[in-house]
Amino acid sequence: MPIQYYIVLSLALFCIGIVGVLTRRNAIIIFMCIELMLNAVNLLLVAFSKMHHNTVLAADKATQAGIEGQLFVFFIMVVAAAEVSVGLAIIVMMFRNTHSVDVNFLNRLKN
Protein backbone atom coordinates (compact mmCIF):
# COMPACT_ATOMS: atom_id res chain seq x y z
CA MET A 1 0.00 0.00 0.00
CA PRO A 2 1.60 3.34 -0.99
CA ILE A 3 2.36 5.72 1.87
CA GLN A 4 0.40 8.52 0.18
CA TYR A 5 -2.92 6.83 0.98
CA TYR A 6 -2.13 6.78 4.67
CA ILE A 7 -0.93 10.39 4.58
CA VAL A 8 -4.10 11.57 2.87
CA LEU A 9 -6.31 9.58 5.27
CA SER A 10 -4.53 11.04 8.29
CA LEU A 11 -4.67 14.55 6.85
CA ALA A 12 -8.40 14.18 6.24
CA LEU A 13 -9.00 13.03 9.82
CA PHE A 14 -6.80 15.86 11.13
CA CYS A 15 -8.64 18.50 9.10
CA ILE A 16 -12.02 17.13 10.22
CA GLY A 17 -10.75 17.63 13.78
CA ILE A 18 -9.68 21.20 12.98
CA VAL A 19 -13.07 21.98 11.43
CA GLY A 20 -14.73 20.59 14.55
CA VAL A 21 -12.65 22.80 16.84
CA LEU A 22 -13.44 25.85 14.70
CA THR A 23 -17.16 25.30 14.23
CA ARG A 24 -18.51 23.89 17.49
CA ARG A 25 -19.05 25.75 20.75
CA ASN A 26 -19.55 22.79 23.05
CA ALA A 27 -16.34 22.34 25.07
CA ILE A 28 -16.70 18.54 25.18
CA ILE A 29 -17.05 18.26 21.40
CA ILE A 30 -13.99 20.50 20.95
CA PHE A 31 -12.06 18.23 23.31
CA MET A 32 -13.18 15.15 21.36
CA CYS A 33 -11.99 16.76 18.13
CA ILE A 34 -8.57 17.28 19.72
CA GLU A 35 -8.52 13.54 20.50
CA LEU A 36 -9.41 12.88 16.86
CA MET A 37 -6.42 14.96 15.72
CA LEU A 38 -4.12 13.09 18.12
CA ASN A 39 -5.32 9.79 16.68
CA ALA A 40 -4.74 10.97 13.11
CA VAL A 41 -1.14 11.76 14.05
CA ASN A 42 -0.79 8.36 15.73
CA LEU A 43 -1.99 6.56 12.61
CA LEU A 44 0.48 8.50 10.46
CA LEU A 45 3.35 7.71 12.85
CA VAL A 46 2.61 3.98 12.67
CA ALA A 47 2.37 4.13 8.88
CA PHE A 48 5.72 5.95 8.62
CA SER A 49 7.23 3.44 11.04
CA LYS A 50 6.17 0.56 8.81
CA MET A 51 7.40 2.44 5.73
CA HIS A 52 10.84 2.93 7.26
CA HIS A 53 10.86 -0.71 8.37
CA ASN A 54 10.04 -1.77 4.82
CA THR A 55 12.92 0.19 3.31
CA VAL A 56 15.49 -1.13 5.81
CA LEU A 57 14.12 -4.68 5.62
CA ALA A 58 15.32 -5.03 2.02
CA ALA A 59 18.96 -4.82 3.16
CA ASP A 60 18.77 -6.41 6.61
CA LYS A 61 16.33 -9.24 7.36
CA ALA A 62 16.62 -9.10 11.18
CA THR A 63 16.26 -5.36 11.50
CA GLN A 64 14.22 -3.62 14.21
CA ALA A 65 14.21 -0.27 12.40
CA GLY A 66 11.06 1.78 12.81
CA ILE A 67 10.21 0.55 16.29
CA GLU A 68 10.78 4.06 17.68
CA GLY A 69 7.73 5.33 15.82
CA GLN A 70 5.45 2.83 17.53
CA LEU A 71 6.98 3.58 20.94
CA PHE A 72 6.35 7.25 20.28
CA VAL A 73 2.69 6.45 19.59
CA PHE A 74 2.58 4.61 22.92
CA PHE A 75 3.91 7.66 24.75
CA ILE A 76 1.45 9.92 22.91
CA MET A 77 -1.36 7.68 24.19
CA VAL A 78 0.04 7.94 27.75
CA VAL A 79 0.15 11.73 27.58
CA ALA A 80 -3.31 11.86 25.98
CA ALA A 81 -4.80 9.80 28.82
CA ALA A 82 -3.30 12.16 31.41
CA GLU A 83 -4.47 15.16 29.40
CA VAL A 84 -8.04 13.87 29.15
CA SER A 85 -8.36 13.34 32.90
CA VAL A 86 -7.19 16.89 33.68
CA GLY A 87 -9.15 18.44 30.81
CA LEU A 88 -12.42 16.80 31.76
CA ALA A 89 -11.90 17.91 35.37
CA ILE A 90 -11.50 21.48 34.09
CA ILE A 91 -14.68 21.15 31.99
CA VAL A 92 -16.60 19.80 35.00
CA MET A 93 -15.36 22.73 37.11
CA MET A 94 -16.37 25.17 34.37
CA PHE A 95 -19.82 23.58 34.18
CA ARG A 96 -20.19 23.87 37.92
CA ASN A 97 -19.40 27.60 37.82
CA THR A 98 -21.28 28.70 34.70
CA HIS A 99 -23.88 25.90 34.29
CA SER A 100 -22.90 25.65 30.64
CA VAL A 101 -20.18 24.09 28.49
CA ASP A 102 -20.25 26.95 25.99
CA VAL A 103 -16.69 28.10 25.34
CA ASN A 104 -17.89 31.64 24.60
CA PHE A 105 -18.44 32.13 28.33
CA LEU A 106 -14.70 31.72 28.81
CA ASN A 107 -13.73 34.90 26.98
CA ARG A 108 -12.55 36.64 30.13
CA LEU A 109 -10.13 35.46 32.77
CA LYS A 110 -11.76 37.24 35.71
CA ASN A 111 -15.27 36.47 37.01
Partner 1 sequence: MSATQILFWILSVVALFSAIMVLLSKNPVHSVLWLIAVFFSISGHYILLNAQFLAIVNMIVYAGAIMVLFLFVVMLMNLNKETEPQKNLWLKLAGVVSGGCLLMILVSLIRQASEVTNKQVLLKDGNIGLIKNLGKALFSDYVVPFEISSVLFLSAMIGAVVIGKKN
Q: Taking CB under 8 A as the rule, does residue 41 contact partner 1?
A: no
Task: State which amino acid sits at residue 27.
Answer: A
Nearer to partner 1, 61 or 110 (CB): 61
Compare residues 12 and 110 and give the one whose CB is closer to partner 1.
Answer: 12
DSSP letter string, 4-35: HHHHHHHHHHHHHHHHHHHH--BHHHHHHHHH
- Residues ≥6 apart with Cβ < 8 Å to 61: none
Interface of this chain with partner 1, residues 57 to 86, rule: CB under 8 A:
57, 64-68, 70-71, 73-75, 77-86
32 binds partner 1 (CB under 8 A): yes
- Is there binding between residue 109 and partner 1 (CB under 8 A)? no
